[in-house]
Amino acid sequence: MTMFTGFFRHPTILMVLDSFFIDSWVGVFRVALALLKQFKHELMVSTDIAFVAQFFHELKDKSESLNIHELLYESLKFGLTDA
């Protein structure tokens, strides 16, 4: 459950945890997919996995400009279910 706590600020973490408590792990997967979709262009510029790891390591600095409400809304569009 600590996977997002190193990348986001406290209010954002609480919203991701809410998503977990509402939809279980499906909510966490939706948020992860929404993050990948949002940063798709930045991530696709390199084939080096170290670049991707560094990108997510630096995500906390970028998270201030991240609209968490929009991210959570986008995460719901993936339509994943627990079935």
Q: Distances in Å between the alpha carbon of 80 and those of 11, 39, 66, 83?
A: 24, 20, 23, 9
The range of the structural domain enclosing residue 25 comes to: 10-76
Predicted confidence (pLDDT) per residue in 25-66, tens digit: 998 899 889 988 988 998 898 888 898 888 877 877 776 677
Within a domain: residue 56?
yes
Within a domain: residue 18?
yes
11 secondary structure, DSSP code: H
Within a domain: residue 1?
no
Predicted confidence (pLDDT) per residue in 56-66, tens digit: 778 777 766 77
Within a domain: residue 83?
no
Q: Which amino acid is at 22?
A: I
Within a domain: residue 81?
no
Whole-prediction pTM value? 0.79
Domain count, the chain: 1
